[in-house]
Amino acid sequence: YFGENKFKQFFNKSGIQQLSYQPISYQGIIAAQQLLTSNVSSEVRLLFMHGQAMSLLAAELSHLCEDKSENSGRFNQKDREIANLARDILFNEFKNPPSIEELSKRVGTNQFKLKKLFHHFFNNTPYGLLLEIRMNNAYQLLESTRCHVSVAADFVGYSHASNFSVAFIKHFGISPKAISKK
């Protein structure tokens, strides 16, 4: 996948050390959570697990692929804390999230910088991360409780189940009704 040079970079002593001291990314947490909790049918379970394992690996190796010279000095520990705080706010308030303007004020930065921080630390936009949070929460609710689609839609902050269904299908490639009936 990466070529011999990147493989050597990842799996030499310093590459392994970088991985061992790196906190797991949000994308990695989601992939691991789906890997551990999914009830995918046995016919496609191996394929699903392989895909999630690859997603987890990609999320955790992605920071090693970045050009360090380009990003060095651009963001510091305070920037990471701001990004993490904003992510935590979205995670805790996903049903009724703040606007980008309000979120940036709450974490003490401007909208432009907040978007840059999200791109750098999470490889996503604030809205993209919010969508992931909502969809993953909805998937877990549908899978574990077998509730009605409108209940899941309301739980993650959608006022219209049809809008939720469209977003869910676009995100997962399967209807929410199919998940709740498994």
Within a domain: 153: yes
Would you place residue 2 in the very low, low, confident or very high pLDDT band (cuts 50, 70, 90)? Answer: low
Domain of residue 158, residue span: 129-180
Least confident of 3-12, 35-44, 50-59, 140-149: 3-12
156 falls within a domain: yes
Task: Give the span between the Cα atoms of 154 and 96, in whole angstroms.
Answer: 11
pLDDT bucket at 66, cuts 50 / 70 / 90: low
- The pTM for the full model equals 0.65
- Spatial contact of 114 and 103, defined as CB atoms under 8 Å apart: yes
Q: Which residue has the higher pLDDT, 76 or 15?
A: 76
C-alpha closest to that of 30 among 48, 49, 56, 51: 56
Q: What pLDDT is attached to residue 162? A: 96
End-to-end CA distance of the chain: 34
Query: Does some domain include residue 173?
Result: yes
Is the residue at 46 inside a domain?
Answer: no
Whether the per-residue pLDDT at 180 is higher than 90: the answer is no
C-alpha to C-alpha distances, 164 to 33, 75, 176, nearest whole angstrom: 22, 35, 9
* Residue 72 within a domain: no
Let me know how long the chain is.
Answer: 182
Average pLDDT, the chain: 82
Percent of the chain at pLDDT above 90?
A: 50
Return the pLDDT at 55. Answer: 75
The band of 175, judged by pLDDT with boundaries at 50, 70 and 90, is very high
CATH number at 141 reads 1.10.10.60
83 pLDDT above the threshold of 70: yes
| Domain annotation covers residue 160 | yes
101-134: pLDDT as tens digits: 999 999 999 999 999 999 998 889 999 999 999 9
Q: For residues 118 and 7, which has the higher predicted lDDT (pLDDT)?
A: 118
Max avg pLDDT among 9-13, 50-54, 55-59, 165-169? 165-169
| Domains identified in the chain, total number | 1
Residue 171 resides in a domain: yes
Residue 59 pLDDT exceeds 80? no
30 domain residue, yes or no: no
